[in-house]
Amino acid sequence: MAYFTHYTHTASGAYAYARDVVTTIRAQSQRPDEVIHLIGGLASGAPPAAFAAFDQAASDCGVDGLSLYEFPLTSPIEWAHLSETQLGQPALAACAG
């Protein structure tokens, strides 16, 4: 889980936190193709720009799944970002771990 909403509310912070979680998992597990599903944290816990950056980091880092906690709190804007996120793509070099 990568509950960025517990640590940051900015777009740059959300992106960096998600990227760092992915790179740490891949480096520590020594499995650069490890299947990863990121959970971004409390859906009502950050502004839309932070969630968009979190989604972008998930796409850039080639994660396989993405979600927020909790279903009733997820806004239409957040659903739109989640549904548009490209998952399972090759990771950018910055996310290789």
Please give the backbone phi and psi of residue 38, each rounded to the nearest 5 degrees, phi first: -90, 135
Global pTM exceeds 0.75: yes
* pLDDT tier for residue 32 given thresholds of 50, 70 and 90: confident
Cα distance between residue 67 and residue 37, in whole Å: 8
Q: What is the DSSP letter of 46?
A: S
What are the CA-CA distances from residue 28 to residues 19, 55, 96 (Å)?
14, 23, 12
Q: What is the DSSP letter of 35?
A: -
Residues 41-93: tens digit of each pLDDT: 888 888 999 999 999 999 999 999 999 888 888 889 888 888 999 999 999 99
- Tokens 């793509």 correspond to 89
SS3 68: strand
